[in-house]
């Protein structure tokens, strides 16, 4: 009996040891080797603590492991976190502190970045974006309230000014729309009605005259079209005949030009002979003027000699 109890106790102890080893290895496999560590630096880490959830594109991928002031720069907080292996954290990813709802605790949210950016290796620093602290938000709200107060004061002044202008406009409208002005407006409208009636009575005959003129113009245009149609065929025949005459004249001029070119040498010789004959005739005329006796005498008579005896 004692041997059986000892065997059972030994079996229970061995099973517990085996379960502990299995849990240990499974935990290391799931949370040790299957995760990648990164670091994030922020100047405000309100509400963060170890075990805070880490989101990638809104998807839970890990936990915050430790928080401490940065040894190199105590003005910022060093946040270490583990992210599931295979999460595509890249150089364009940005880590920031945010809340998934108004009543939820803050989480570390990592943006998806871009597909073209290089993947960050384990231990790298993820670029961060500083959150807005409550103090800073209160200061901005206070500044906004002050600005709103100034704006409300300016709006109130503008509204008062507009109210005064509106009251002045209403007073002017009341003065314009009193009984005397209403009577003037009624008289003006009555005169306008009379003028419209007179114009209507005059427009009718004018329109009739215009219609008559348009009818006459249409008749004139129709007559002109008929006249042009009647003259078109004789004019076309005359133009065809004129074209034939011009063609014959052109042919005759061409023949005459050819004849002139063919006899140009003879004409030049004839003109040269005429010129020479003219020159000879001019010479003969000059000769007759100078020696008219040459027409009846061949030689010129000798001059008379002076008697010698009479010379002293």
Do the bridges between strand 53-56 and strand 35-42 make them parallel or antiparallel, or are there none, so unpaired?
unpaired
Instruction: Kindly state the average pLDDT of the residues 255-259.
Output: 78
Comparison of pLDDT for 283 and 31, the residue scoring more: 283
Interval 70-87: pLDDT, tens = 999 999 999 999 999 999
Distance from C-alpha of 100 to C-alpha of 105, rounded to nearest angstrom? 8
Interval 148-163: pLDDT, tens = 777 877 777 877 777 7
Interval 93-107: pLDDT, tens = 999 998 877 777 899
Tell the burial category of 52 from Cβ atoms under 10 Å away from its Cβ (0-12, 13-18, 19+).
buried
Interval 258-281: pLDDT, tens = 777 777 777 777 777 788 878 777
Q: pTM for the whole thing? A: 0.39
Per-chain mean pLDDT for the chain: 78
Range of weakest confidence among 39-53, 86-100, 252-266: 252-266
Instruction: Kindly state the average pLDDT of the residues 298-302.
Output: 56
For the chain, the domains span 1-33, 37-136
Cα–chain-centroid distance for residue 22? 71
Q: Which of 46-50, 108-112, 209-213 has the highest mean pLDDT?
A: 108-112
């Amino acid at each position: 009996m004692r041997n059986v109890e000892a065997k059972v106790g030994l079996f229970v102890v061995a099973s517990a040891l085996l379960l502990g080893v299995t849990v240990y290895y499974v935990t290391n496999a799931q949370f040790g080797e299957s995760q990648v560590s990164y670091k994030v630096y922020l100047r405000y880490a309100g509400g963060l603590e170890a075990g805070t959830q880490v989101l990638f594109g809104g998807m839970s991928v890990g936990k915050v492991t430790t928080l401490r002031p940065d040894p190199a720069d105590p003005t910022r907080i060093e946040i270490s976190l583990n992210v599931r292996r295979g999460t595509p954290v890249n150089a364009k990813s940005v880590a920031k502190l945010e809340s998934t709802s108004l009543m939820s605790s803050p989480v570390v949210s990592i943006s998806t970045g871009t597909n073209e950016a290089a993947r960050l290796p384990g231990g790298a620093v993820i670029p961060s974006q500083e959150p807005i602290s409550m103090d800073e938000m209160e200061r901005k709200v206070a500044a906004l309230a002050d600005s709103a107060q100034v704006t409300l004061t300016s709006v109130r002044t503008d509204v008062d000014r507009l109210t005064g202008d509106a009251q002045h406009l209403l007073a002017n409208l009341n003065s314009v729309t009193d009984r005397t002005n209403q009577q003037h407006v009624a008289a003006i409208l009555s005169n306008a009605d009379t003028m419209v009636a007179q114009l209507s009575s005059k427009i009718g005959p004018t329109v009739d005259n215009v219609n008559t003129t348009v009818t006459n113009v249409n008749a004139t245009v129709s007559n002109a079209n008929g006249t042009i149609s009647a003259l078109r065929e004789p004019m076309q025949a005359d133009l065809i005949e004129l074209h034939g005459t011009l063609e014959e004249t052109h042919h005759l001029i061409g023949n005459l030009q050819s004849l002139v070119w063919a006899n140009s040498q003879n004409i030049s010789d004839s003109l040269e002979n005429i010129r020479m004959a003219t020159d000879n005739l001019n010479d003969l005329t000059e000769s007759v003027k100078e020696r008219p006796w040459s027409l009846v005498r061949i030689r010129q008579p000798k001059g008379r000699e002076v008697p010698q005896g009479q010379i002293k």
